[in-house]
């Protein structure tokens, strides 16, 4: 097979191939770095989304236990309500982020 008149010389093709590989490698490195930080940030946000309602539930339950002492433990009740609410918020946030990630926004 002979090279066409418009084909770049072999050295130029080699340089272009190396450049493409280098660009792909740099892009993959940037995306991997972004995903690491994004993952750590998401972990932190999910943690706060669960922790804050749980702590608020404990505070409200403790206050109710002091105001209305009795057999039902308001602290445990509101701890579990806060934990459930926090998990629900975190799940909603993760679902929204994964939809945005798939759509490219």
Half-sphere exposure of 20 (CA within 13 A, CB side): 6
Half-sphere exposure of 16 (CA within 13 A, CB side): 7
Is 0.95 topped by the overall pTM? Answer: no
Residue 38: the pLDDT is 75
Q: Domain limits of the chain?
A: 10-103
Cβ atoms within 10 Å of 78's Cβ, excluding its own? 23
Distance CA 98, CA 72 (A): 40
Residue 22: the pLDDT is 85
Residue 36: the pLDDT is 73
Per-residue tens of pLDDT for the chain, all 105 residues? 555 567 778 888 888 888 888 888 887 776 666 677 777 888 888 899 999 999 999 999 999 999 999 888 999 999 999 999 999 999 998 888 777 766 655
């Amino acid at each position: 097979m002979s090279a066409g008149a418009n084909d770049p010389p072999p050295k130029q093709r080699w340089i272009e191939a190396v450049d493409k590989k280098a660009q792909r490698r740099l892009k993959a490195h940037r995306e991997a770095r972004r995903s690491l930080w994004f993952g750590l940030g998401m972990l932190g946000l999910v943690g706060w989304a669960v922790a804050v309602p749980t702590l608020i539930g404990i505070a409200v339950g403790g206050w109710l236990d002091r105001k209305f002492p009795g057999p039902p433990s308001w602290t445990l009740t509101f701890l579990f309500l806060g934990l459930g609410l926090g998990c629900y918020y975190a799940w909603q946030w993760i679902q929204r982020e994964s939809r945005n990630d798939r759509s490219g926004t």
